[in-house]
Structure 1
């Protein structure tokens, strides 16, 4: 019972916060990549640089 209570009160909310944070960070990364690609004169180079930087 104590383990279930700990899950409900601490672990699950903490996990949800972490997922929400990761989701928001991924949106920022996607926006950055998109804007970088759109603004680049050499689209192929911008794409390759983006792919290389996230490995």
Structure 2
């Protein structure tokens, strides 16, 4: 993100957002069942793997 002149986002903040989006049964870990039951799982994968879509959403 720094190379793209984007504001840096702390991993802890991203993790908190992901947990809020998924609402896992146990906040200590996320299971496949949690992801399959979440309508926002596509957005979670964009946050983790697609920097362009993530930075455009900020």
How high is the TM-score relative to the length of structure 2? 0.27
Q: Larger radius of gyration, structure 1 or 2?
A: 1
Question: Which fold has the larger relative contact order, with Cα–Cα distance below 8 Å and residues 6 or more apart in sequence?
Answer: 2
Higher helix residue share: 1
How high is the TM-score relative to the length of structure 1? 0.28
